[in-house]
Structures are given as C-alpha cells and as structure tokens.
Amino acid sequence: MKKINIESWQIIPKSKIYFSISLIVILIAVFGIILNLTTIKTPLNYGLDFTGGTILDLKFEKTP
C-alpha cells in the first residue's frame, strides 16, 4: 500500500481555484432554489417523506 505524502500537497497556492469552484457550486444551488421559488412556489421540493400523505397509483384496464 502506497503512503500518501501530505507535505507535497499545494493547497494554499491553489486556494483561489478551490474558492472559485466552491463559489460556482453555491451559485448553482442558489439559482436552483430561485428557480423552484418561481415555478413551484417553494424553495425546496420536499418529497412525500417530509410533507406527509399517501400516494395511491391505480391502473384500470377500462375507463371506469
């Protein structure tokens, strides 16, 4: 098993890149929340687990 050399990591010099990537991910998430607010009128689309209720799927061979 190969040992990882932590001293060779260049984290501080690349901090602007890491900050930029984090900022892009956060902006995408905020855009998604705003998009949900405009389309479904709620910031997050909660599933049945969090909203409560029951889903009942019925399939008929003929129209009742």
Q: What is the largest CA-CA distance in the chain?
A: 72
Share of the chain above pLDDT 70, in %: 94
Phi/psi of residue 52, nearest 5 degrees: 85, 160
Write the pLDDT tens digit of every residue in 31-44. 999 999 999 888 88
pLDDT band at 8 (very low <50, low <70, confident <90, very high): confident
Predicted structure pTM score = 0.60
Contact by Cβ (8 Å): 43, 36:
yes
